[in-house]
Structure 1
């Protein structure tokens, strides 16, 4: 364990103790929580397994979200950190959590072309036809970004390939457009 992880462990312990015991200083727990959230999100972006493990071991809420609604799992998936995604999923992070735009970690993984991460997220107990705030589904993202492997996997998992988004686009019309067809 590195000095950084030990320091983070101490800070986590302090934050938990202050949050539980010190109701007289309500600003202190919020400030500490905000600092801890920053460390959690930075570790997820960087795929820092050691720091993420410290959060898991401390029982920290892994589903905390930043101002945009991003959780550690969304950030790890988007940034392509497969081991971090696996750690967070195994520790109970919510794979179905959506950010402020309604996008989940799966949609981020599809966007970035992270096939193995997308497959790990598809194995989670989330609806295969989750819609973001534009009415787009994972299958629509797979079609748009020409992730045919993922589209086949979604089809096998029962995704509705006939769904239409808020703009009237279907998986098929998006795939044609993405391929440059009229």
Structure 2
């Protein structure tokens, strides 16, 4: 006779211990999003960057980012993480294709690639996502700042992006044709 179990209320979640164990053994898949405001022709007018406190107590800029859970599609993960960081009224317009604008690889040891995450080896699929609603930072994000592409690409902003994400921002804006702005 099969056993009857209560369904897991959070399928795809790992305990902190299990996540630490997995991070020490295998790369973890993430999605990252560059939230943007676009004009009627689809040109990027503003880029949204999050302000977060780092583990070392510093304030740094970041992109929308989060893990892809077991059994979750890329679209579902992207939407969940956008809502988690920007709030339910952000109204993101997910890309038609799930082909990312960049694939980022983070290593726990600095210097292997420009991207660094001391916790783990991770691979992130990066997307540019227009948002049309009101964004209110949530979870561990303290603030969302909207910058023009030129302001976002200023060296002091690029340097302030955690883990080397400035290179991802450049790639994403180049892909979207927003480097001349």
TM-score, length-normalised on structure 2?
A: 0.29
Higher helix share: 1
Q: Which has the higher strand share?
A: 2
Structure number with higher relative contact order (C-alpha < 8 Å, ≥ 6 residues apart) = 2
- The structure with the larger Rg is 1
